[in-house]
Structure 1
Amino acid sequence: MPRVNRTPEESELVRTHGPEYLELLARALRLIVLFNAEHREMTLNELAALSGMPRSSVRRVVLTLETLGMAEQNDRYFRLTPRVLTLAAAYLRSNSFADKLQPITDHVSARVGEACSVAVLDGDEAVMIVRTAPRRIVTVALEIGLRLPAYCSAVGRVLLGGMDEAELDAYLARLQPRKMTPATVTDKAALKARVTGDRAQGYSLVDHEAEQGFRSLAVPILDRDGRIACSLHIGMSAERTSIEQALEEYLPVLREASAEAALVIAV
Structure 2
Amino acid sequence: MNRFFVTAADVHLPTKEITIVGEDVKHISKVLRLSTGDLLEVCDGEKYEYIGKIKNISKQEVLLSIEDQMPLKTEAPIEVILYQSIPKATKMELIIQKTTEMGIKSIVPIITNRTVVQFKDDKDKEKKVDRWQKIAIEAAKQSKRGRIPHVESPISLKEALQQAQENDLNMIAYEREVVQGIKGLLTSLDTKNIKKIGIWIGPEGGFEEGEIDLVKDKNVHSVTLGPRILRTETAGFTVLSIMMYELGDLGG
Taking structure 1 as the reference length, the TM-score comes to 0.30
Higher relative contact order (CA 8 A, sep 6+): 2
Taking structure 2 as the reference length, the TM-score comes to 0.31
- Greater per-residue strand proportion: 2
- Greater per-residue helix proportion: 1
